[in-house]
């Protein structure tokens, strides 16, 4: 198991920096104290005695903590004194070369980006939450939960699923604009939450099965001649896969009559297509850990695009697992009136020919903008 800590993760939060990327020294100058090592320690404390070999990076990036913990470890990467994002990536590469079964990291969205940039979907990763921002779906709900997941993963075969790596542009974030983007896709182990499953011949239990069900249903109703704008994410990507199409996971594609008519579309492309092509519909899925369906990750689907296509032509899809994990779905298009129009109790396609009613809220109303830590860490 690869194990690394971003020692400065989370330090910017307490001193009002909204992220620590490139600002570790400023955070320390402002009096911030390290957070991540404590959180990592709390996660390891959950493990008890386990039969695993930890491969790690030197000093504060893992070695120091593992030495104290009494767990079996070996240093496979020598980190520089003031470790940086480059060290995170290099250590992750070493883990891959050593063919680890799992990579556990302690940090925030920035760390998740660095790790997943190297690992992609080659090896499952688990994030111990310690950052200022944790929008990505790789984070356990708490350090203790992370420890629990690691133990279960080693003991048996937990299911894995793909999830989006999401991060915020910190420069803009500091000036008050929340500009979230999807940066990649990672594989994470997960404990299946109790979803009410269908009593069917071969019960669909894994999240991938439900994504497929949703996709098959979508592939059937998408034959109506409309242009379908497919938002970013793995669920919409599955729809394209079922249709036998290649999808830009991180971008927005447009599909009509079984063909991709625009790949990685910009807002302007979308407006043009709606103007030219008649009836258009939008399919989006919640992105990241907090259940945003609009305004995070697919900014091309702008308020103008939604208004032109008609808010009634907005189709939300999400697996029962995802719906179970988020109390409500969130929208933040940047157009408060439109957010209000879209919010309320809405139908969310959750399987083959079935939907759930789910509360959709304007994020401006529920105040999730500035406190990701509160929601991600119990």
Partner 1 sequence: MPKRWYNVAADLLTPLDPPLNPQTGKPLVPSDLAAIFPMELIKQEASTERWIDIPDEVREILKLWRPTPLFRAHRLEAHLKTPAKIYYKYEGVSPAGSHKPNTAIAQAYYNMKAGIERIATETGAGQWGSALSMATNFFDLQCRVYMVRASFDQKPYRKSIMQVWGAECVASPSELTNSGRAILKEHPDTGGSLGIAISEAVEDAATHDNTNYALGSVLNHVLLHQTVEGQELKKQMAMVDDYPDVIYGCVGGGSNFPGMCFPFVPDKLKEKKEIRMVACEPAACPTLTKGLYAYDFGDTARLTPLLKMYTLGHDFIPPSIHAGGLRYHGDAPLLCNLVHDGVIEAMSFHQNEVFKAAVTFARTEGIVPAPESSHAIKPAIDDAIACKKTGEEKTIVISLSGHGHFDLSSYDAYFAGNLVDYEYPAELVKQSLAKIPKF
Binding to partner 1 in span 214-273, by CB under 8 A: 217, 220-221, 223-224
| CA 355 – CA 316 distance, rounded (Å) | 10
Is residue 354 near partner 1 by the rule CB under 8 A?
Answer: yes
> Residue 203 Cβ, how far from partner 1 at the closest point, in Å?
5
Instruction: Establish if 197 lies at the interface with partner 1 (CB under 8 A).
Output: yes
Q: String of b and e for 159-180 (b: at least 16 CB within 10 Å)? A: ebbbbbbbbbebeebeeeebeb
CA–CA separation, 289 and 4 (whole Å): 22
d(CA 338, CA 102): 42
Q: Would you count residue 356 as binding partner 1 (CB under 8 A)? A: yes
| Contact window for partner 1 (CB under 8 A) among 110-118, 158-166, 355-363, 365-373 | 355-363
**Contact predicate 76/94, CB 8 Å:** yes
Least distance between partner 1 and beta carbon 137 (Å): 21
The answer to whether 68 and 60 are in contact (CB under 8 A) is no
Stretch that binds partner 1, among 60-68, 76-84, 192-200, 229-237 (CB under 8 A): 192-200
CB 356, CB 321: distance < 8 Å: no
Residue ranges of the alpha helices (H) in the chain?
A: 11-14, 24-29, 36-45, 63-69, 85-97, 109-119, 143-155, 170-174, 207-221, 234-242, 267-277, 303-309, 320-325, 336-342, 363-366, 372-376
Min dist. Cβ of residue 217 to partner 1 (A): 7
Residue 203 touching partner 1 (CB under 8 A): yes
Site membership for partner 1, residue 156 (CB under 8 A):
no
288-317 footprint of partner 1 as x/- string (CB under 8 A): ---------------------------x--
For residues 343 and 366, give the distance between their C-alpha atoms in angstroms, rounded to a whole number.
12
Closer to partner 1 by Cβ: residue 90 or 315: 315
Closer to partner 1 by Cβ: residue 175 or 196? 196
Residue 199 interacts with partner 1 (CB under 8 A)? yes
**Given the complex with partner 1, which of 101 and 224 has the nearer CB atom?**
224
Nearest-approach distance from CB 158 to partner 1, in angstroms: 17
Per CB under 8 A, 196 contacts partner 1: yes
Helices 85-97 and 109-119: angle between axes, nearest 10 degrees: 40
> Among 198, 307, 308, 328, which residue sits at the site for partner 1 (rule: CB under 8 A)?
198
The residues with which 317 forms a beta bridge, in sequence order, are: 349
Q: Of 348, 223, 224, whose CA–CA distance to 284 is shortest?
A: 348
357 sits near partner 1 (criterion: CB under 8 A): yes
Binding site for partner 1 (CB under 8 A): 194, 196-203, 217, 220-221, 223-224, 315, 320, 323, 347, 349-357
């Amino acid at each position: 198991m690869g194990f690394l800590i971003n020692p400065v993760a989370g330090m910017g939060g307490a001193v009002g920096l909204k992220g620590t990327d490139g600002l570790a020294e400023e955070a320390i100058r402002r009096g911030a104290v390290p957070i991540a090592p404590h959180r990592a320690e709390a996660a390891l404390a959950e493990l008890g005695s386990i039969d695993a070999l930890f491969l790690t990076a030197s000093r504060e990036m893992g070695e120091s903590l593992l030495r104290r913990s009494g767990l079996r470890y070996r240093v496979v990467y020598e980190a520089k004194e003031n470790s940086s994002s480059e060290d995170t990536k290099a250590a992750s590469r070493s883990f891959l070369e050593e063919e680890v079964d799992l990579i556990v990291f302690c940090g925030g969205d920035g760390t998740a980006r660095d790790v997943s940039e190297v690992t992609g979907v080659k090896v499952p990763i688990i994030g111990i939450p310690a950052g200022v921002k944790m929008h990505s779906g790789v984070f356990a709900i708490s350090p203790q939960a992370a420890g629990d997941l690691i133990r279960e993963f080693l003991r048996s075969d937990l299911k894995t699923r793909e999830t989006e790596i999401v991060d915020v542009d910190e420069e803009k974030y500091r000036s008050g604009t929340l500009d979230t983007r999807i940066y990649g896709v990672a594989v994470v182990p997960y404990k299946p939450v109790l979803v009410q499953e269908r009593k069917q011949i071969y019960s669909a239990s894994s999240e991938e099965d439900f994504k497929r069900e949703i996709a098959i249903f979508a592939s059937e109703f998408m034959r109506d001649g409309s242009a379908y704008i497919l938002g970013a994410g793995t669920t919409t990507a599955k729809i394209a896969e079922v249709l036998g199409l290649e999808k830009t996971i991180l971008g927005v594609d447009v599909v009509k009559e079984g063909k991709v008519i625009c790949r990685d579309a910009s807002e302007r492309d979308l407006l043009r297509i709606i103007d030219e092509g008649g009836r258009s519909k939008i399919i989006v899925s919640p992105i990241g850990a907090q259940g945003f369906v609009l305004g995070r990750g697919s900014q091309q689907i702008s308020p103008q695009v939604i208004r032109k296509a008609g808010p009634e032509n907005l189709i939300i899809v999400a697996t029962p697992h995802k719906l179970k994990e988020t109390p409500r779905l969130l929208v933040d298009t940047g157009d408060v009136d439109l957010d209000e129009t879209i919010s309320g109790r809405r139908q969310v396609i959750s399987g083959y020919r079935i939907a759930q009613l789910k509360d959709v809220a304007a994020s401006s109303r529920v105040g999730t903008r500035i406190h990701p830590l509160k929601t991600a860490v119990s």
